Amino acid sequence: MPTPSSRVSGITPSGKDGWEVHFEAMTRHQAGEPIIMLSVGDHDFHTPAETVEACVRAVRAGHHHYTQLPGIPRLRAAMAKATSACTGVETSPAQILSTPGGQAALFASALATCDAGDHAIIVAPFYATYPPTFRAAQVDISIVDAHAEDGFQPQAAAIEAAITPRTRAILINTPNNPTGAVYTHETLEGIADVCRRHDLWLISDEVYWTIAGTRRHVSPRSLPGMEERTLVVNSMSKSHGMTGWRIGWLTGPEDFVTMLISLNLVSTYGLPDFISRAAVDALENGHGVADIAERYAKRRTVFLDAIRGMNDVTDARLGGRHVCDARRLGAGARLRGLRLGAAGSRKGCGDAGWQLRRRRERPYPHQPVPAGRSAARGGDAAETVCRQLQAGRGVMATTSVSRDIPPPLTPPHKGEGGHPRSAHPSASCLAVRNSATLAYPSPLWGGIKGGGDSAKSFPAIKAVTLA
């Protein structure tokens, strides 16, 4: 039997990376099982009704034929206007490549900036698809960590130290997923200086630019000498509540984008017409943008009011999300259902590799994951956060950012009526390198109360990071 190419088989070398568990949980949730999805960064509310209606009108008007490869002209124009606001640099439609989601824009960036065997640098913490995206392009990568002690602001000297003669690109993410850190002008100027001196591409994922909290989002594209070497990845998933619509775009130099149209020719062959027109309506009218940002800001406030001063936990406002320093609690400490234990993990963290895993060989009640359990190919010892769900019923779908061997979960302990007993709730574990990202299911956690956007009015708080 012929063998598959190393290009594809190398994307997930171990054959499993946690995504299969996410999709199992999704399937079971859609079938009616009471599973709480805390996996990818999806909203717990629907796309704004105005956008949906615009799509319905487009379908009924017959807009369901092939479209221009880089996007219909009006969509590229709307995306260019959004990019001008996002980056602070006047942008033309010719500098825009429409893609099916931000991930496709990221993949296009990797393919277009690096050849097979080249090298790229990824700043961590990062979104979980970054390494496999470069592996798909057969590009070697190095990870440079941004540390909690520095407010998760990456240090230019550390990035420069990772450069090799084969380095072609640096990938950053601001506002950052998962920490919420918004990179400062000084941080970005340091990175830009490295790119200029070493003649490197800078790929800047700015998908969360509308959810920066009280911090001002700065795009490296706006810095001197950077427009011609910066590729900006953007999406409508977070800003406009359109995760399942798969609408994103890449911004870059005009000649670079013109070249990339050929990639759309052999990959996507353009976007669906009716979805493109709904996206135009959402971009031109800003459907949902302010409401989504305000909604998450309220949820963060509710959470902070609940935990501030609790058990020596300190907090630092980094941006649209929130970081809580729980390291002084130590292994085995509890914080309203939160247990900390030691475990190993691989580099990087994000909110996409979430795990739902039944653990039959481990006896109940919950035991912390042994040190090194999730370290498939090395990596530093890190804290594993075990979130015990204080719920009357249901199963909690959570994640691991460990890429090869996810930390195990204890199976739910059934009480009368088949529901988990409140004294022994189901547990979930999450391993990361420098920080741990949690999403708190607010209606099921009695510690979150008050506020106009209260626990009863939303089923899940946006991801929070424990540094």
Fold of the domain built from segment(s) 49-285:
Aspartate Aminotransferase; domain 2 (3.40.640)
What mean pLDDT do residues 255-280 have? 97
Which residues on neighbouring strands pair with residue 202, listed in sequence order? 170, 230
Instruction: With cut-offs at 50, 70 and 90, classify the pLDDT of residue 315.
Output: low
Edge to edge, what strands does the sheet with 464-466 contain?
314-316, 323-325, 464-466, 436-438
Answer yes or no: is pLDDT of 328 > 60: no
Answer yes or no: is pLDDT of 373 > 50: no
Separation CA 109–CA 99 (nearest Å):
11
Q: Residue 11 has which token pair?
A: 């994307």
Instruction: Tell me which residue of 277, 323, 328 sits closest to 300, measured CA to CA.
Output: 323
What pLDDT is attached to residue 334? 39
Distances (CA, A) of 221 to 6, 239, 402: 34, 20, 32
What pLDDT is attached to residue 26? 87
Long-range CB contacts (< 8 A, 24+ apart) of 1-9? 6/138, 7/136, 7/138, 8/136
Instruction: With cut-offs at 50, 70 and 90, classify the pLDDT of residue 412.
Output: very low
What mean pLDDT do residues 261-272 have? 96
- Kindly state the DSSP code that residue 264 receives in the 8-state scheme: H
Q: pLDDT of 120-166, one tens digit each?
A: 999 999 988 999 999 999 999 999 999 988 999 999 999 999 999 99
Separation CA 132–CA 65 (nearest Å):
33
| CA 427 to chain CA mean position, Å | 23
Report the interhelical angle of 254-266 vs 102-113 (nearest 10°).
Answer: 110
What pLDDT is attached to residue 19? 78
Residues 6+ apart with CB under 8 A from 39: 22, 25, 26, 351, 352, 354, 397, 398, 399
Answer yes or no: is pLDDT of 437 > 80: no
Q: Please say whether the dihedral angle defined by the alpha carbons of residues 358, 363, 367 and 373, taken in this order, is positive or negative.
A: negative
What pLDDT is attached to residue 464? 33
Q: pLDDT of 82-123, one tens digit each?
A: 999 999 999 999 999 999 999 999 999 999 999 999 999 999
Instruction: With cut-offs at 50, 70 and 90, classify the pLDDT of residue 41.
Output: confident
- Report helix, strand and coil shares of the chain as percent, to nearest 5: 35, 15, 50
Residues 6+ apart with CB under 8 A from 448: 302, 303, 306, 440, 442, 455, 461
Distances (CA, A) of 186 to 155, 183, 190, 192, 223: 10, 8, 6, 10, 11
Domain borders along the chain are 6-33+290-466, 49-285
Answer yes or no: is pLDDT of 365 > 60: no
Q: How high is the mean pLDDT of the chain? A: 73
Separation CA 66–CA 268 (nearest Å):
11
Separation CA 376–CA 404 (nearest Å):
6
Please tell me the least confidently modeled range out of 29-38, 220-229, 263-272, 396-405.
396-405
What mean pLDDT do residues 315-324 have? 56
What pLDDT is attached to residue 301? 82
